[in-house]
Structure 1
Amino acid sequence: MKIRSTVAAACLAAAGIYAGPAFAIDYPARKPGLWEMQTSDGAGSKAKPEAIQQCIDAATDKMLREMGQGMGKDMCAKQDMRMEGGKMVIDSVCKIGQTTATSQAVMTGDFSTGYRLESKSTYSPPLMGRAGATTVVEARWVGPCKADQKPGDMVMNGMKMNVHDMIGGRGKK
């Protein structure tokens, strides 16, 4: 069960920055290669940030954007995205089970060398005992993928997996 939840978390993490339906403003494509993403609970959190490394190419990045957009269509009644002075701002209202999550996410960066996403959410009724949450994702391009990696490979919590294999896609060799 732990492995299954880790795999699900990895898929969500991989597609999570793209959740939402298709917009007039398209998400920028990330530079192909190895990306490292640190996820934390926001400023002042005592929890250790989680790190994910992900090897992507243009096709994998596109697949993850489309997967996230599909998740948003299924879960969200509202997804508004706009540009404000070089920042991408996304306001959403989504259902998670019986809970309504109202969120605002702000993305900055160039998607070639790095980006930052900060999302603040409130939950009604509370989700797993929490009335709200802040999530921060700091991502940076590390360089080319390692010699033993193929597009779609992710390393999370010391476990290596491939998003194409997890979702039954075309695993690249």
Structure 2
Amino acid sequence: MKIRLPALALCAAIGGALAGPAFALDMPARKPGLWEIHSGDASGKTPAATMQQCIDAASDKAMQERGQGMAQALGKDACSQDVRAQSGNQITIDSVCKIGTTTATTHTVISGDFNSAYRMDRKASYNPPLMGRSESNTTMEAKWIGPCKADQRPGDMVMPNGTKMNMLDAMAARKK
């Protein structure tokens, strides 16, 4: 089974998620509806954030495919190590990847059922530092909170400041 982290998880992990192969993992599809995602960095350098996202099967799949495209942008030879293991509802990924001139070494643990909740813990070190950071310790927790609200459509994301944007519209605009 391939493992792919939903693209939303990448957005939610803000800053600490630059870690290569987790972009191209094939995770189970998330339950359609409204998801609340809380992310933060234990260092305090990236403030914690909570956002909501409305998905259906098609929008979840499209965002996963977008995540794969981001991984491919790093290049096929970007990672010298990419070890993945799955045991029950827990997936572990250890990787060593190049991001420009920086080597990112990461350990990621993803767990949950993707119907009611999932969690990602990622520890990364960067040599030389990436964007001024030599390490990050990111946690992201997501939980299904029910059907999407009446004014929401699949792909809608409500950011921590209350701004609503549609990820599918944003992805389509980037293709133009």
Using the size of structure 1 for normalisation, the TM-score is 0.79
Matches within 5 A, 1:5-84: 12-13=10-11, 19-21=22-24, 26-42=26-42, 45=44, 48-75=47-74, 76-77=78-79, 78-84=81-87
Task: Specify whether residues 81 and 49 from structure 1 end up closer, same or farther in structure 2 by C-alpha distance, changes over 3 A only.
Answer: same
1:165 is matched with 169
Cα distance between partner residues in 2 of 1:160 and 1:150 = 11
2:112 is matched with 109
Task: Specify whether residues 59 and 34 from structure 1 end up closer, same or farther in structure 2 by C-alpha distance, changes over 3 A only.
Answer: same
2:137 is matched with 134
**Preserved CA contact (<8 Å) 1:14 1:64:** no
User: Helix, strand or coil for the counterpart of 1:81?
Assistant: strand
Task: Specify whether residues 154 and 83 from structure 1 end up closer, same or farther in structure 2 by C-alpha distance, changes over 3 A only.
Answer: same
1:5 is matched with none
Farther off after superposition, 128-137 or 30-39: 128-137
Cα shift readout 1:28-57 (whole Å, capped 9, x = no counterpart): 110000001000113x74865201110000
Cα distance between partner residues in 2 of 1:11 and 1:140 = 12
User: Helix, strand or coil for the counterpart of 1:27?
Assistant: coil
Cα distance between partner residues in 2 of 1:131 and 1:87 = 27
**Preserved CA contact (<8 Å) 1:121 1:134:** yes
* CA positional deviation for 1:154: 0.3
Using the size of structure 2 for normalisation, the TM-score is 0.77
Unaligned runs of 5+ in 2: 1-7
Unaligned runs of 5+ in 1: 1-9
* CA positional deviation for 1:104: 1.2
Q: Which amino acid aligns with 2:61?
A: K
Query: Quick one: percent identity of the two aligned structures?
Result: 51
Cα distance between partner residues in 2 of 1:59 and 1:85 = 26
Cα distance between partner residues in 2 of 1:32 and 1:14 = 18
1:122 is matched with 125
User: Helix, strand or coil for the counterpart of 1:112?
Assistant: coil
Cα distance between partner residues in 1 of 2:109 and 2:147 = 27
The count of aligned residue pairs is 156
Task: Specify whether residues 50 and 144 from structure 1 end up closer, same or farther in structure 2 by C-alpha distance, changes over 3 A only.
Answer: same
1:92 is matched with 95
Cα distance between partner residues in 2 of 1:32 and 1:19 = 22
Cα distance between partner residues in 1 of 2:29 and 2:124 = 25
User: Helix, strand or coil for the counterpart of 1:55?
Assistant: strand
